[in-house]
Amino acid sequence: MRFLSSILIISLLVHCSQKYNTYVASKPSKPKFYLEKTKVGIDIYFLRSISSQIAEGEAKTKLIQKIMDNHANWFDVRLRRYLLANGVHLVNEREKADLVLETTILDMGEVRPKIFIQGLSVGLVFGFIIGEATGEPEVGLAVFIWEVIEEIIIIYLLKSFFMITTIEMKVSTPSNEVLMEKEFTSYSNEEFEETLPDFAKKLRENRVRGSLESNARDIADYLKK
């Protein structure tokens, strides 16, 4: 069921990226990008998802927000470095840019509810179709229940054994015509963690930043094409 959902999303992304490729091909030289400040598009409920620090009550809420912002700022710096290293032309003023690059953190240590809901929606539709096709509603119900179990297991594994981060990249013209939207997901970055001292390798902050660095590198490599 998750596969069917992925197929639908991929087909939409391919259509959108074609607009971007056509736009870039029409330009006599490399397009100039303006990089917007990264936004955080997920509500983090557990401090331990993104940090090894401990806090309670209102202090915890404020600390979560502070650490989320710090991770977003850190990602901005890494993304800019990778883009420049890959020869992407960046400008400091939006008015001078051919394209605007926006990035939003969608998953970070926790998975946005939308992912779970999408999986259940596909399971519900698929279960209904199976039930109608076989004439046995209990078969369709079994398919839906399996989808619920599958989604719960996937989210548990992502939270327990991986450090998931997902970045939504949006490329548009200065007049706000969207040319491309694409998501980049990372589950870990052992190469980054190996550069750290032993005591720092297991800190939640560094595991988050390792995955964010992987996202930044993937985005820069994609735009270099």
Predicted TM-score (pTM) of the model is: 0.78
CA dist., res. 88 & res. 72, Å (int)? 21
Fold classification of 2-109+163-183+193-224 (topology level): Double Stranded RNA Binding Domain (3.30.160)
Question: What's the confidence (pLDDT) of residue 18?
Answer: 85
Question: What's the confidence (pLDDT) of residue 16?
Answer: 59
The answer for residues whose C-beta is within 8 angstroms of residue 215's C-beta and 6 or more apart is 75, 165, 166, 167, 184, 185, 186
Alpha carbon of 145 to those of 4, 7, 116, 130, 225: distances in Å? Answer: 17, 22, 13, 13, 42
Question: What's the confidence (pLDDT) of residue 57?
Answer: 92
Return per-residue pLDDT of the chain as tens, 225 residues.
444 444 444 444 555 578 898 988 888 889 999 999 999 999 999 999 999 999 999 999 999 999 999 999 999 999 999 999 999 999 999 999 999 999 999 999 888 766 555 556 666 666 667 777 777 777 777 776 777 666 666 666 666 667 889 999 999 999 999 999 999 999 989 899 899 998 898 899 999 999 999 999 999 999 987
Question: What's the confidence (pLDDT) of residue 11?
Answer: 47
Question: What's the confidence (pLDDT) of residue 142?
Answer: 75
Question: What's the confidence (pLDDT) of residue 223?
Answer: 94
Question: What's the confidence (pLDDT) of residue 73?
Answer: 97
Gyration radius of the chain's alpha carbons: 20
